[in-house]
């Protein structure tokens, strides 16, 4: 075989291999979706949404308390995390000087990279230890810490993308800086900011590790925010590692619901962003 032929052969083989790599990685997604749809739909029924978990051996229980618990902890996370992320982002984009915003940006990236289990430890030390109880508050606080960096950086990024002519136009009409920000800049960037919010919620909705020893788990309804609270991700974990078939069935159903919500949120975020871009161009 000649040199040219060898080079061409190598070319074709290697390029084909990169195609195989792509196929394999994309195939993983479809395998995951397929398994979850197959096992999830077989297990999903109306009881899942309305009943409490039952003891092993009984069939027909559900995870209603975990669905509500997840909603509550995420709501707490949004209430704490969104203002910090939003106003912090406004500061970085509109008010900040040079040095201090750089520090904030750096620490936000650092916080974003902290392993979720370590976030859980932190929430345990500052909420669970002083309150002497596992609680929805602690879980929500842990999740809010994971939302803040996403909200902060996306708010900043989308505010910065607004052309400075809009700021100058508003200031030239006599508006103050605050009026300019609240009535001109933020509305113009609202799609991007909304996207950041949705992505933040989607990220924390599936987090398990920070909740393991903050909101813990609960077989029953939690009546107060200061009680251990069941959440969907922690339930999936506990049910999946249990030895009971009926609990495994519940885990698949819960996995399907959780993944469905997370993927829908992600696709919705992209859709909002794409529509925003289309509106601005049009």
> What part of residues 43-82 is at the interface with other proteins (CB under 8 A)?
none
Q: Which of residues 249-268 bind other proteins (CB under 8 A)?
A: 251-252, 255, 258-259, 262-263, 266-267
Only one residue has tokens 């992505």, namely 199
Instruction: Kindly tell me which of 117 and 166 has the beta carbon lying closer to other proteins.
Output: 117
One residue of 63, 66, 92, 142 binding other proteins per CB under 8 A: 92
One residue of 37, 75, 121, 194 binding other proteins per CB under 8 A: 121
One residue of 143, 212, 230, 273 binding other proteins per CB under 8 A: 212
Does position 142 bind other proteins by CB under 8 A?
no
Q: Which of residues 16-45 bind other proteins (CB under 8 A)?
A: 17-22, 24-26, 28-29, 32, 35-36, 39
One residue of 45, 122, 167, 226 binding other proteins per CB under 8 A: 122
Instruction: Kindly tell me which of 167 and 248 has the beta carbon lying closer to other proteins.
Output: 248
One residue of 54, 114, 225, 268 binding other proteins per CB under 8 A: 114
Instruction: Kindly tell me which of 32 and 166 has the beta carbon lying closer to other proteins.
Output: 32
Concatenated DSSP letters of the chain: --HHHHHHHHHHHHHHHHHHHHHHHHHHHHHHHHHHHHHHHHH--HHHHHSPP--TT------HHHHHHHHHHHHHHHHHHHHHHHHHHHIIIII--SHHHHHHHHHHHHHHHS-HHHHHHHHIIIIIHHHTS--HHHHHHHHHHHHHHHHHHHHHHHHHTS-HHHHHHHHHTT--HHHHIIIIIHHHTHHHHHHHHHHHHHHHHT--GGGTTTT---SS---STTS----HHHHHHHHHTSS-HHHHHHHHHHHHHHHHHHHHHHHHHHHHHHHHHHHHH-
Instruction: Kindly tell me which of 90 and 184 has the beta carbon lying closer to other proteins.
Output: 90
One residue of 46, 57, 99, 113 binding other proteins per CB under 8 A: 113
Minimum CB separation from other proteins for residue 86, in Å?
A: 8
CB 53 within 8 A of CB 65: yes
How many residues bind to other proteins according to rule CB under 8 A? 90
CB 230 within 8 A of CB 236: no
Does position 140 bind other proteins by CB under 8 A?
no
Instruction: Kindly tell me which of 101 and 157 has the beta carbon lying closer to other proteins.
Output: 101
Does position 173 bind other proteins by CB under 8 A?
no
């Amino acid at each position: 075989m000649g040199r040219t032929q060898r080079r061409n052969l190598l070319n074709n083989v290697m390029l084909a291999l990169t195609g195989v790599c792509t196929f394999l990685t994309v195939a993983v997604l479809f395998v995951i979706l397929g398994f979850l749809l197959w096992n999830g739909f077989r297990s999903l029924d109306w009881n899942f949404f309305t009943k409490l978990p039952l003891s092993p051996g009984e069939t027909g229980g559900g995870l209603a308390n975990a669905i509500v618990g997840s909603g509550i902890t995420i709501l707490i996370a949004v209430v704490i995390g969104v203002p910090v992320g939003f106003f912090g982002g406004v500061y970085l984009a509109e008010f900040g000087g040079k040095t201090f915003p750089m520090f904030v940006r750096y620490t936000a990236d650092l916080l974003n990279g902290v392993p979720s289990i370590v976030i859980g430890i932190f929430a345990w030390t500052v909420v669970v230890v002083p309150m002497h109880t596992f609680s929805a508050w602690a879980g929500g606080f842990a999740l809010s810490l994971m939302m803040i960096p996403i909200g902060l950086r996306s708010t900043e990024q989308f505010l910065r993308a607004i052309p400075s002519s809009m700021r100058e136009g508003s200031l030239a009409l006599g508006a103050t800086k605050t009026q300019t920000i609240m009535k001109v800049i933020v509305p113009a960037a609202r799609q991007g900011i909304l996207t950041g919010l949705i992505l933040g919620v989607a990220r924390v909705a599936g987090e398990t590790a920070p909740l393991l020893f903050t909101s813990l788990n609960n077989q029953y309804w939690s009546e107060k925010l200061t009680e251990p609270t069941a959440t969907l991700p922690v339930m999936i974990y506990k049910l999946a590692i249990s030895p009971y078939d009926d609990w495994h069935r519940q885990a698949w159903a819960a996995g399907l619901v959780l993944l469905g919500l997370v993927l829908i949120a992600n696709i919705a975020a992209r859709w909002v962003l794409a529509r925003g871009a289309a509106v601005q161009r049009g």
